[in-house]
Amino acid sequence: MASLALSLLVLTTLALIVGAFWLWRRGGSRKQVTLMLVLAVVMAVNVAIWTLPGQSGQSLVSAAKE
């Protein structure tokens, strides 16, 4: 279940980046583009927190599976 959630987070992050670029090219609101990119960064950091191993050598995803 955790891998499904992480996959959706990654796909949503990519969609937000593409959508922000598309909106910026179409002359959309700069504030909205910035907020989309900030959300994409927050989601990417969240994925990194869950997947990168800690000091014990175990990631949160592998700990959740146990």
**What confidence score (pLDDT) does residue 56 get?**
83
CB of 36 within 8 A of CB of 23?
yes
Per-run averaged pLDDT (10 residues), the chain, 66 residues: 88 97 94 97 94 83 73
In this structure, are residues 37 and 20 in contact, taking their beta carbons and an 8 Å threshold? yes
Please tell me the predicted confidence (pLDDT) of residue 2: 75
Distance (Å, whole) CA 62 – CA 49? 12
pTM: predicted TM-score of the whole model, two decimal places? 0.84
What pLDDT shows up at residue 36?
Answer: 97
* Angle (nearest 5°) at CA 6 between 3 and 7: 85
- Report the C-alpha gap between 19 and 30 in whole angstroms: 13
